[in-house]
Structure 1
Amino acid sequence: MNAVLEKIFELDPAQMRRKGNWLWWWWIFYFDEPRDKPKQVMVLWSTKNERKINCNGLDISLRHEFIKRDGAAWNIDGAVAAWYYDGRQMRENYLLNHADVLVEANRLGTKEPFTEFSREKNGFMVSAGDLQFQIGEPEKTGFYAPDSKESVFLKKFSYDIFKINRVPFESNAGRGTAYFQRVRINAPVPPWYWGLYHFEGGGAVHYYQPHLGASALTNKPGGGAFPVKKHFQFWDGRRLFDNRACSVRRVGGGNPAFIVESDGAAGKAKMLVESYSHACWAFRKGRLNRLDYNEYPALVKEFSFRNASGKWALDDLGQGRGNSEHATGFLW
């Protein structure tokens, strides 16, 4: 397990120095309470090899040598950001700072402001603002075990992801379950739908649908969407049902609902989630080169999955809480 988890903090300086390369470490925490609108926190450490980019009004201009050695650590010119839905209101720019991100074996963080993400004896620790999280050890097998994938496409672009789909946490603001991903991508970023939901009974749902369409040009929701990829996964606590088929429809503005459907070899699914808050990271490189990364804390209101082996409904799984993303625009 330790050898696998060490990949979280590994860096390839040659990859990092490629123009446009984007790297982030991303935790999202789903709290148990309040039940009607559970707290939620997202924490992000990130860098993108661009001369200049703006996020939520913060101009980030990288130094010439944006990755360099700093003693035992790699010093990366980047940013730390966090939003915090505290059960009553969204604190969108809870953290938003241009900062040196120091990465070493089993640890990364920033000095100004102080943040930290580290590997501990029995899990992980995250500190951001006034929040401190003690995160449990990931499971060794199944859908919640650490997972990594790498891909190269068009002989030019590359993508890799390391993720943990669910792990328990305790914090000074409450307890719940968390999701983690470390992503490095060297490719244009199109609009996408993404969601991950944890059920009280131990199950989970994940969906992902990057797409092209009007929202890539207008930076506004709506219009036709042509999927680049379609993926739907349902974990019932013991078995994984995996479909390479998925459709996502956004309903309403403000805090929208999302209708997710999947009909494939693993079974047929339909899910309705309703969001109760919203945070956005608005990236700007130019008039058309921009991305609005919208995140919506939400609850599962309806769920069904059936195949030859059985049927599952929301009553069988318990409350489902999580986050739906709808990114619009196109960033390259």
Structure 2
Amino acid sequence: MIPYKTVSEHQRVYDLIWSQMPHMQKRTSSTWWYFILFPQDVEGYGPRQMMFSIATAVSKHPIHISDLELPGLDLRREVTDGVDRFPAAAVGWYYDGRTLHENILHTTAVTHLSQPDRTISCWANEPDGHRQGYEICASAAQPLALEAHIEGRNGRADFTAWGDLNCLDNAPHESININTPVGGTHFIAWRRMRFEGDFDLPGTGRERLAGYGYFQRVCLNVPPFPWKWIWALFPDGSMFSSYVPYVGMNLFRKGYHFYSSNRKEQATFSIAPKSFWDWPDASERIWLAQQTRVTPVLGRGEHPQFAVSAGNKAGDFVQFTAVPYARTGFFLERPLWRGHSHWNYNEYLFRMEDVQGQIQGRPINKESMGQGFGNLEYTWGLGL
């Protein structure tokens, strides 16, 4: 294996996972560490999915992450000898192929983020003596790999995740590093990792699973805002991803509901949307940024479907319908004047239907690629 970049550069980015960049944080900051995992299955990497997250947000007063209340992150806290202590929520869900199991993990705790030890741990001792929480740490057995340990009331998981380090998306990537007096973002993404480990989850019980995963540590130093995001995989490991920040009346929507018509739901303006395709080997991304659209379509079932299209001037393009089979989500609320700000985050687990496209002269469809599965975020509101 030939590393995509030098080992020292991979190590530099990897080490940033264990910091939330306190010198960049503002009063609207929030920080998230999370894994999305797609276990290998009969059709490819789906329909099973799971997600485990640690999250915190700045506030002088208690905040809500869905029904969990916790103290806000203090901008004046001290980080001593590379150890950052702060309140956070740890949550997790699992779709077993038939049923979505929410609250696999569901707790808050004082969280320890240690740069010297390369670990983040969020563990709570419940009143009944049960201990639950989430820990991500550097692997003791494999360089530039992550180990995760999850213990919830409704399940547990212990797995290792790593990348091939042979291209941008198979390696830890400092995707965004923007710091201004009014805000910014510091974003570490590992968009295509391999994982393997032991899981004991409702619906499927104890088993050893392997597949692909997505890891992210994002320090969002602006208010959380509306976006649509897609991460999708085909059986050979080829990946499609889109990111579409947008503005519209959805900016003011609170709670989980939709407008009365497609015209109103779709009345938004996209801001610098972009997409890309990445083959599973050591190849460069193919950007599909010129023609990216992710459009919600109501009235076709329990969940909105999404018409997705992306292309570039070279003639590469991908289009499909994201057909959700499950949905989960949460909201972030912070005190604001006499009320509170509200940001709503929704994840749709979907099958790729009606896939058509062409990348570098190769046809992209179900016959050539197999069944694709994905995870789509559709957020609205503003987390001031």
TM-score, normalised to structure 2's length? 0.79
2:295 matched to which residue of 1?
249
What amino acid sits opposite 1:143 in the alignment?
A: D
Asked whether 1:46 is paired with 2:89, we answer: no
How many Å apart are 1:108 and its aligned residue?
0.9
Give the whole-Å Cα distance in 2 for the aligned partners of 1:218 and 1:176.
Answer: 36
Q: 2:104 aligns with which of 87, 91, 94?
A: 94
Q: 1:233 aligns with which of 276, 282, 292?
A: 276
Residues 129-138 or 240-249, more deviating:
129-138
Asked whether 1:314 is paired with 2:366, we answer: yes
2:381 matched to which residue of 1?
329
What amino acid sits opposite 2:134 in the alignment?
A: T
2:135 matched to which residue of 1?
116
How many Å apart are 1:223 and its aligned residue?
4.3
Give the whole-Å Cα distance in 1 for the aligned partners of 2:318 and 2:108.
Answer: 42
Q: 1:8 aligns with which of 4, 17, 22?
A: 17
Alpha-carbon distance change, 312 to 65 in structure 1, aligned in 2, over 3 angstroms: closer
Give the whole-Å Cα distance in 1 for the aligned partners of 2:53 and 2:360.
Answer: 41
Asked whether 1:190 is paired with 2:225, we answer: yes
How many Å apart are 1:169 and its aligned residue?
1.1
- The number of residues matched between the two structures is 331
Give the whole-Å Cα distance in 2 for the aligned partners of 1:247 and 1:118.
Answer: 37
Cα distance per residue 1:239-295 (max 9 Å; x no partner): 421022311111236333221112322522212221111111122236672111000
1:256-271 equivalences in 2 (<5 Å): 256-266=304-314, 267-271=316-320
2:39 matched to which residue of 1?
31
Cα distance per residue 1:102-126 (max 9 Å; x no partner): 1113211122133211111322211
Give the whole-Å Cα distance in 2 for the aligned partners of 1:21 and 1:161.
Answer: 13
1:297 matched to which residue of 2?
349
How many Å apart are 1:218 and its aligned residue?
2.3
What amino acid sits opposite 2:326 in the alignment?
A: S
**Contact 1:32–1:38, Cα closer than 8 Å, also in 2:** no
1:79 matched to which residue of 2?
89
2:149 matched to which residue of 1?
127
How many Å apart are 1:300 and its aligned residue?
1.5
Cα distance per residue 1:115-174 (max 9 Å; x no partner): 211111322211112111222344232432221133447752211211111111122232
Q: CA RMSD in A?
A: 2.5
Alpha-carbon distance change, 276 to 15 in structure 1, aligned in 2, over 3 angstroms: same
**Contact 1:213–1:225, Cα closer than 8 Å, also in 2:** yes
**Contact 1:196–1:204, Cα closer than 8 Å, also in 2:** yes
What amino acid sits opposite 1:197 in the alignment?
A: A
Cα distance per residue 1:148-202 (max 9 Å; x no partner): 1334477522112111111111222322110011111111222111010111112
Structure 1, unaligned runs of 5 or more: none
1:214 matched to which residue of 2?
249
Give the whole-Å Cα distance in 2 for the aligned partners of 1:66 and 1:255.
Answer: 42
What amino acid sits opposite 1:126 in the alignment?
A: A
How many Å apart are 1:68 and its aligned residue?
3.6
2:129 matched to which residue of 1?
none
How many Å apart are 1:7 and its aligned residue?
1.6
1:133-152 equivalences in 2 (<5 Å): 133-152=159-178
TM-score, normalised to structure 1's length? 0.90
Alpha-carbon distance change, 235 to 65 in structure 1, aligned in 2, over 3 angstroms: closer
What amino acid sits opposite 1:166 in the alignment?
A: R
Bigger radius of gyration, 1 or 2? 2
Give the whole-Å Cα distance in 2 for the aligned partners of 1:308 and 1:69.
Answer: 49
**Contact 1:73–1:102, Cα closer than 8 Å, also in 2:** yes
Residues 115-124 or 144-153, more deviating:
144-153
Residues 271-280 or 114-123, more deviating:
114-123
Give the whole-Å Cα distance in 2 for the aligned partners of 1:63 and 1:282.
Answer: 17
Residues 40-49 or 55-64, more deviating:
55-64
Specify the SS of the correspondent of 2:91: strand
More strand per residue? 1
Give the whole-Å Cα distance in 1 for the aligned partners of 2:345 and 2:172.
Answer: 25
Asked whether 1:277 is paired with 2:277, we answer: no
Percent of paired sites with the same residue: 20
